[in-house]
């Protein structure tokens, strides 16, 4: 089985020219990390986790370092992860002071007692499992702080994610976000919700979603896209149909990445732009 990987850096407003090169570099780096795992025989789950870590560590993506701020001026992140072979999942919501929340979601998955932890309980779980802590101001970039001060709530792509197919035929998906600028503390969006922001089934497909979280939850967009392939649609058709469903039902704005068990991909969005990196016909493609 030939591996496949797609990473995304969020759908939303077009990236300002001054930031395009750095965001392109960030997407490329995330893809390379995940791709190297896959070509060395690693699992799809490891690939999507490490690709997402790379994007969480980049200051120009809305996840981890670089997350937008709540109305209180704090960072609260939402993450989910799904293994399409075992159907194991891990998710955390409204989590503060965690450097890489995707690793916390992975720990929740591995622990197996629960699927979804939020707030202080998730943070305590992270400490108990020795995951890297971050002081509150360590995750706040000057750029996002200035946007918060100016009450600038639009103009930024949101959410990062990845979907992967490994050489054993396993599919996995991951999604991570800082949410929306100025959100209420405690708000949890689609990125933490299995079936909405993230879904994977190794017999059908894997999907990660970005966009208007409340609308995406209402449409259970990730699973909708995957289930459309069960009905016979290819990845591109399924992605377009799912997005049309979202638009028709909610008028929401979103983008999604989708892989099937043969490595065929779908990347669609109805926002102004969406950053993504993938291989197509043996050629590396990165879009901003």
* Residues marked as catalytic: 159
Bridge-based pairing of strands 254-259 and 77-83 is: unpaired
In 41-177, alpha helices (H):
44-56, 101-111, 119-128, 142-149
Residues 6+ apart with CB under 8 A from 244: none
Using the CB atoms, write b or e for 52-66: b if 16+ within 10 Å: bbbbbbbebbbbbbb
> Could you tell me if 30 and 52 are in contact, meaning their C-beta atoms sit under 8 angstroms apart?
yes
> Could you tell me if 131 and 108 are in contact, meaning their C-beta atoms sit under 8 angstroms apart?
no
CA distances from residue 55 to 102, 168, 169, 254 in whole angstroms, order as listed: 10, 25, 25, 19
Classify 191 in phi/psi space as left (phi over 0), alpha (psi -120 to 50) or beta. alpha
For CA atoms 120, 122, 123, 125, the dihedral sign is positive
Residues 6+ apart with CB under 8 A from 234: 260, 264, 266
Distance, CA of 136 to CA of 117 (rounded, Å):
20
> Could you tell me if 242 and 201 are in contact, meaning their C-beta atoms sit under 8 angstroms apart?
no
């Amino acid at each position: 089985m030939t591996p496949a990987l797609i990473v995304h850096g969020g759908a939303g407003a077009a990236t300002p020219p001054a930031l395009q090169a750095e965001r392109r570099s960030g997407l490329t780096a995330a893809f390379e990390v995940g791709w190297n795992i896959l070509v060395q025989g690693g699992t799809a789950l490891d690939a999507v986790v490490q690709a997402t870590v790379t994007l969480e560590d980049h200051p120009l993506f809305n996840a981890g370092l670089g997350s937008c701020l709540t109305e209180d001026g704090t960072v609260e992140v939402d993450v989910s992860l799904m293994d399409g072979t075992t159907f194991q999942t891990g998710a955390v919501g409204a989590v503060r002071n965690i450097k890489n929340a995707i690793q916390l979601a992975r720990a929740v998955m591995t622990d197996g007692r629960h699927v979804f932890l939020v707030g202080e309980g998730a943070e305590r779980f992270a400490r108990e499992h020795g995951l890297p802590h971050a002081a509150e101001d360590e995750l706040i970039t000057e750029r996002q702080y200035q946007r918060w001060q100016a009450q600038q709530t639009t103009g930024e792509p949101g959410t990062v994610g990845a979907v992967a197919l490994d050489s054993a035929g396993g599919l996995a998906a991951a999604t991570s976000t800082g949410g929306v600028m100025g959100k209420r503390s405690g708000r949890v969006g689609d990125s933490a919700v299995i079936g909405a922001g993230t879904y994977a089934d190794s017999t059908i497909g894997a999907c990660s979603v970005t966009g208007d979280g409340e609308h995406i939850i209402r449409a259970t967009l990730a699973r909708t896209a995957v289930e459309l392939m069960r009905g016979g649609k290819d990845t591109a058709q399924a992605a377009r149909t799912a997005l049309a469903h979202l638009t028709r039902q909610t008028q929401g704005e979103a983008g999604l990445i989708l892989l099937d068990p043969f490595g065929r991909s779908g990347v669609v969005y109805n926002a102004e732009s969406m950053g993504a990196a993938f291989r197509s016909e043996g050629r590396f493609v990165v879009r901003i």
